A and B are shown apart, each in its own frame.
Chain A
């Protein structure tokens, strides 16, 4: 279950405005200065090992495989198949659209919720509930989430049957929306909102009361405060959050796999076809070419993210 949601959580720390992330400044005194760089980085070896095995190695397999044929010779055929096949380009477009739409919907709703939480009592029940719920629901992706929606809105879902029997309305009369692109968008937004709360809350918390007071003292109203103070400070965090949500939806597989059984409209499902089909054989490397395309899209998004993060870092204490 590679819910991209994981990605968001590992990055939550980056958005915590209160934490100084520079190890050199964080450590008081000069005790570590005498150590040579090699031994200073020794503690990070397990981390780099982990990254090498679970991130770099699979990426290399995908990149190399994308340019090989079934018997291991170099070829461009896989890549040209993907670029020349309108089915695959459509799948990329659908994936990008789905990710962008759900990132925007989840991002806006999540940011509003985060703002509401930050405005409230710091130790209040509301805040604790929302943060705890977000922590759970942001990880509540994949097959469980798909099942929850099917059991509620599917053909034998509780709500569907209740509406049919009690109200005499058939919500699925015009087709099974939940099994289509619309259904995917609704279900994805469900895990995007809590993810945005987790990512964005530290940024909103970082808004100092003094800034508002200073703005008020200088005669600025609400509009001026949001337009010239809070808005510019929060914008990099907000857009960065959107990018993380985009990647989270772009890489999600299990939710879509559980919901959609025909036509493989998005890229992760197209890749599945090449890896596990009992009909189409010996073309796994076209799947790798599709995966390479996904790597490229994610690389572009993460570059934007890194750039935004540097901008946002300006305001950290």
Chain B
């Protein structure tokens, strides 16, 4: 099958993320949806194709850094990428993944749900200029009165970085409830911004973060582009990092 330019762009984006070291990803495509799941299973991205796009009748999956060409087919359980330069034809064969596209689709459905009860905050990529990429986590918390507060603690040489949104005289963002503190890995946070394509109409890409309320039993964050006119609109589910006494890894709970 030959994929469209839009799908190729999504795949390429996943490959670029993989190579940047931000998210080490696996790509799954099924029907009109493309999923990207990172290596640690802490971030799941879902891209929904437009109705005019060709659907993936045959579900496929492969590791992002195996992606080699926009023409590929599945042969005996392997994905074969085919490319040529007019004189020679190249085939690259690679294995599929341990989890099936259907399982990932079901996983997404488990986490994606009504967002109306979640405190939401818009963050532009300008925030990346202020964070310290060498620190492992970014802590988020927010109050109805005070808005969002972003914190990084330097456990190596001391010091705390605190980031707050500058209040605009024209628009004041209020939260529907308090949330946090919860954290996202710094690499995951940065990678989310690199997914969104440059938008010439806006000064910088902006993402909308839907945080879980305090004491809510859903320890994950949902992230979407702040506007919907994007060609590559996506939804990201990000597993929270939590400040409790537990060392066992658990699944982020869902409704």
Partners in one complex: no
A contact set with B: CB distance below 8 Å: none
Residues of B within 8 A of A (CB): none
